[in-house]
Chain A
Amino acid sequence: MELLFAIAIGVLTASGIYLLLRPTIFALILGLALLGYAVNLFLFAIGRPTLDAAPIIGAGERYADPLPQALVLTAIVIGFAMTAFVVALALRARSEWGDDRSEFANDSTKSSALENGASENSISRNSSSENGSSEKSESVGFENAELESTRTENARQENNGPASRPAAVSDPKSSGERG
């Protein structure tokens, strides 16, 4: 059982660290969660895993150490709250930056883009969604998928830069409604 336990902790830790090194926030959160599981299992194991024994002294021949269980409970509560917090933070980051990259490496370029173009970003995003809706209403008359796709290509090239991604997101929805 000890071997199984140790392998489980090792695999969880390794996967957690691998995910922590990924460049997207979503992977980062998963990595933190996996690392948290590994740490909790580890804490659970430090009292030496005991089978079929109550954590009460005098209840039987053997008893389980209750303290690691209390520690794990505290760690789980804190870890759960923190995961929820990071998820909320990541959602806000996603809505402000328009993508999910954590930008640990080249964020100096990103920061200037954000500071200078934060307002432009939101404006162009609005305009791109307007484009999408107008195309949709026109496309009913055309009913020509090829023409439509070339037009979205053009639109995508027009608002290059930070707005290109929201435009790409809005495309499948409008085409889906068309189909």
Chain B
Amino acid sequence: MNHLLILPILVPLCCACLLLFLRGASIGAARGLALLSSLLQLGLAGLLLAQSSDGAIQLYAAGHWLPPYGIVLVLDRLAALMLFTTAVLALPALLYAAGGADRDGKYFHVLWQFQLMGINGAFLTGDLFNLFVFFEVLLMASYGLLLHGRGAARLRAGLQYVVLNLLGSALFLLAAGIFYGLAGTLNLADLSVFIAVAEPADTPLLAAAGLLLLIVFGLKAALFPWYFWLPRSYAVASAPVAALFAIMSKVGIYATLRLTLLLFGAHAGALAGLLLPWLWPLALLTLILGSLGVLAATTLAELIAYCVVVSVGTLLSALALNSMAALTALLYYLMQSTWIVGALFLLVDLIAGRRGSVAGRLQSAPKMASHAALGGLFLIAALAVVGLPPLAGFVGKLLLLQAAPLPDKSILWLALLASSLVGLVAFSRAGSVLFWRTDTVVWRAGTAVPAPMPLPINAVCAVIVLLGAHVALSVCGAPIVKMLEATAAQLFDAEQYTAAVLVQMQNPAGVEP
């Protein structure tokens, strides 16, 4: 049994507990410990990604309690990829937070680590109820992080976020209950096998449970009728928290992937492809409404938050295409959009901090300090998020369009290209307001001229690391796409997953410690 599998959960957990004891100590010690934990997680995620690249599916039975009684962690290519994406995002975001955002509250670093623990756990677990528990862990931490620092806007957005997610949790439990009542198990592999051979009398209930789960995961991922909380909460969160939240909506996407491909995939008999007819229109609507939001945004943070919604729509419409090529495109787009949105949240905060009282509102302001450097970074980030060549955003969209057969899926072409155009318009408008339309308003009453301040080195490093990761994705496109093709193939082969998990479950020798 490979004990590395549980470390992405244990490392942040231990770090958070240590930080709780250390809360009287200096903030420097807390920052050091948190950064160390984040570095360790990055190393671990890299190691697990390398280990999973041979295609084997590893199982970890906690406490050597074998299923069906114990609860398992499962590492396949997708889980390793998600862990890696999270770790690459979390480290620069934490570095940025160390510049002062972590002084908002006493427990910032503790909550941050619990959040990472919940996210890592959700990616690793192979059990539906355990997924619920890790969802709750990451949600509770996110409530705390979102409400950090005072402010009525944050409180209102936070209250809506909390109430909606509590409702989601209740629905999740209902769905889990239906699954357990019918199948007598909550292990994902077991459930997958059960659904494939379900009695005709059970199928309506199973379908109801599956669609309930789609609502829950759609709420987490910010799919169309349930996305209204996202722009509001992400726009009011502090910058590093918003950057970390970029992976949270991807947790919902990950869970939807598992639901669609593992539980109701092609092998599922009468229920195969249950969710696809729902996903397709909802994802397209998300894409379109998100683009409208991008166009209508009045603050920088709102603009980026709507970019998250657009990326969710793009990703889920790729999932609804239900082909290997589309899934490869989805995984590529997921990695690049997570990192670029994280970078943009940080960058935008840096820019807003240099615009005096105008802050993040898209209005002209006196010329900011470090104008050229920030402008250059914003240009690169905008090119990437809109999806212009040569960066990875373009490659992702190209892969997705190639995967959409033209005559019958032309609506996706239309929506995707239109959303890119709208993004281009919105970002060029934002960029010209921020960086060019500056000198006319210096004397307008009420706009204080911001004092020139040097760029904090850690913040710039954080933005550059995330942009660099994004550029690396574009430069090493071919080998990465090859790896993602293997991941997509493994995802489509739900029977390989279930066989690997069930064989190791029934054969304790295979999971000898």
Question: What CA separation (Å) do A71 and B167 show in the bound complex?
Answer: 18
Proximity bits, A88-130, B CB within 8 Å = 1, else 0? 0110110011000011100100110011001000000000000
Cβ of B193 under 8 Å from chain A: no
* Residues 47-73 of A contacting B (Cβ, < 8 Å): 47-48, 67-68, 71
B129-174 at interface with A (beta carbon < 8 Å): 129, 133, 136, 140, 143, 147, 152-153, 155-156, 158-160, 162-163, 166-167, 169-170, 173-174
Please give the distance in Å from A30's CB to the nearest CB on chain B. Answer: 12
Q: How far is the CA of A75 from the CA of B186 in the complex (A)?
A: 15
Closest-CB distance, A44 to chain B (whole angstroms): 9
**Which residues of A sit under 8 angstroms from B180, Cβ to Cβ?**
46-47, 67-68, 71
Q: In chain B, what residue has the closest Cβ to A113?
A: B152
What is the chain B residue whose CB lies nearest that of A96? Answer: B152
A68–B180 CA distance with the chains assembled, in angstroms: 8
20 A–B contacts, CB within 8 A, in A order? A32-B166, A35-B167, A39-B170, A39-B174, A42-B174, A43-B173, A43-B177, A46-B180, A71-B129, A71-B180, A81-B140, A85-B140, A86-B159, A89-B158, A89-B159, A93-B159, A97-B152, A103-B156, A104-B160, A114-B152
In the complex, what distance in Å separates the CA atom of A46 from the CA atom of B180? 7
Q: Does B454 contact A (CB under 8 A)?
A: no
Q: Which of B143, B166, B167, B180 has the most CB of A within 10 A?
A: B166
Report how many A-B pairs have Cβ atoms within 8 Å.
Answer: 82
By a CB distance below 8 angstroms, the chain B residues around A111 are 152-153, 156
What B residues does A74 contact at CB under 8 A?
129, 133
The residue that B155 contacts in the complex, of A75, A92, A115, with Cβ under 8 A, is A92
Contact A75 B147 (CB under 8 A): no
Q: Does A25 contact B (CB under 8 A)?
A: yes
Nearest B residue to A81, CB-CB: B140
The complex places the Cα of A97 from the Cα of B159 at a distance, in Å, of 13
A20 adjacent to chain B (CB < 8 Å): yes
Neighbour of B153 across the interface among A25, A36, A48, A114, CB < 8 A:
A114
CA gap between A107 and B162 in the complex, in Å:
17
Question: Which 4 pairs between the two chains have the least Cβ-Cβ distance?
Answer: A46-B181, A114-B152, A46-B177, A39-B173
Main SS class of interface, B: helix
- For residue A138, give the distance in angstroms from its CB to the closest CB of chain B: 35
Residues on the B chain within 8 Å of A114, using CB: 152-153
Interface string of B164-200 (1 = CB under 8 A from A): 0011011001101110110000000000000000000
A85 touches B143 (CB 8 A): yes
Check if A11 is an interface residue, CB within 8 A of chain B: no
Residues of A within 8 A of B136 (CB): 78
Q: Which residues of B contact A115 (CB under 8 A)?
A: 152-153
Given contact pairs A32-B166, A43-B177, A78-B136, A90 touches B159 in the complex (Cβ within 8 A): yes
Which of chain A's residues 12-58 have a Cβ closer than 8 Å to chain B? 20, 25, 28, 32, 35-36, 39, 42-43, 45-48
Q: Judging by beta carbons under 8 Å apart, are B167 and A20 in contact? A: yes
- Cα–Cα, bound, A111→B157 (Å): 11
How far does the Cβ of A115 sit from chain B's closest Cβ, in whole Å?
A: 7
Q: Is the CB of B166 within 8 A of A86?
A: yes
Residues of A within 8 A of B159 (CB): 25, 86, 89-90, 93, 102
Alpha-carbon distance A107/B152, docked complex (angstroms): 12
Minimum C-beta distance from A82 to chain B (A):
6
Cα distance A78–B118 in the bound complex, in angstroms: 14
Known contacts A35-B170, A36-B170, A46-B180; A86/B163 CB under 8 A: yes
A40 to chain B, nearest CB (A): 8
Residues in chain B near residue A36, CB distance under 8 A:
170
Residues 229-243 of chain B: 1 if any A CB is under 8 Å from the residue's CB, otherwise 0?
A: 000000000000000
Q: Which residues of A contact B174 (CB under 8 A)?
A: 39, 42
Which residues of B are found within 8 Å of A47, using beta-carbon distances? 180-181
Closest residue on chain B to residue A33 by CB atoms:
B166
Residues of B within 8 A of A48 (CB): 181
CA of A47 to CA of B129 in the docked complex: distance in angstroms?
15
Q: Which residues of B contact A25 (CB under 8 A)?
A: 159
In the bound complex, CA of A111 to CA of B177 (Å)? 40
**How long is the Cα–Cα vector from A93 to B177 in the complex, in angstroms?**
34
Provide the bound-state CA to CA distance between A164 and B181, in Å: 54
CA distance A104 to B229 in the complex (A): 11
Q: Complex: how many Å from CA A115 to CA B156?
A: 12
